[in-house]
Amino acid sequence: MSTKLSSATALSEVRAASVSGALGVSKGGPQAELGAKVTANAQTLSDRVLYHVYGFNSATAAKRGEAIPESGPLYQATAGAAGVADAAVTVAASTGDQTWVYVKASGVQIERGQLVSKAAGGTYDGVAATVAVGPGSSPHLIAGVAQHKIPANHYGWLLVKGKGVVNCDAGIALGDSLAPSAAADGLASPLAPGVKGLGVALAAGTAWVATASDATLALLDI
């Protein structure tokens, strides 16, 4: 089920549910249903800030990539070097609306930027960063990409369409089409023949390494 909400309502729903207790969500969502979707509207001249996450090299290791409680458009983000500073999750100006889907993680934590697959039977109850790799992957079983850490057995939101970030397994060039990695679950790589594209890289990026690099900017369409 998809719900087109006003900009203000969509921002409130996505941010509030995504950062509840900084641990994902225990319940709730726009309709309290797994698989429910919301559309966060873009605006023309400036980015809309949904929430912030702790940097990939935050001084508190356990919080890296975690959504920050009560963070939103007026939040004063922690400054510092790349990776130490908080990162904003935004609806980028003039890039089109975003689509988000409400999910529950499996018994394994999902990291920011990971490509996430639906659970057995194609449901959103127990999603995990175990997307099948290579040309034989099943694109219809991809749930979305995590823009913040979702702890094991917690609820949260995945980005399905729009500008966001995704972890990659190798160097990425601006404009590269992206597909599920043929080397590792949960990562993306430059498109190979016979594999459905997930989006386009909006910046050059390097292979993702925890504490050493953030995810690569991409325009996703899953």
DSSP 126-178: EEBS-PPPSTT--GGGEEEEESS-B-TT-EEEEEEEEEEEE-BSS-B-TT-EE
pLDDT at res. 211 = 66
In a domain, 175, yes or no: no
Classify residue 64: in a domain, yes or no: yes
The answer to whether residue 187 is domain-embedded is no
pLDDT of residue 24: 39
Q: Is residue 15's pLDDT more than 60?
A: no
* pLDDT value, residue 28: 41
Q: Is residue 89, in this structure, part of any structural domain at all?
A: yes
Report if residue 34 sits inside a domain: yes
CA distance 181 to 135: 9
Q: How confident is the model at residue 139 (pLDDT cuts 50, 70, 90)?
A: low
Provide the pLDDT for residue 135.
47
**Within a domain: residue 169?**
no
Return the minimum-mean-pLDDT range out of 81-90, 136-145, 166-175.
136-145
User: Given this model, what pLDDT does residue 61 score?
Assistant: 84
CA-to-CA distance for 214 and 91, rounded, in angstroms? 18
Q: Which domain holds residue 17?
A: 2-163
Mean pLDDT of the chain: 77
What is the per-residue pLDDT for 210?
72
As for how many domains the chain has, the answer is 1
Instruction: Decide if 177 is inside a domain.
Output: no
Contact 86, 102 (CB under 8 A): no
Question: What is the model's pLDDT at position 80?
Answer: 82
For residue 129, is it within any domain? yes
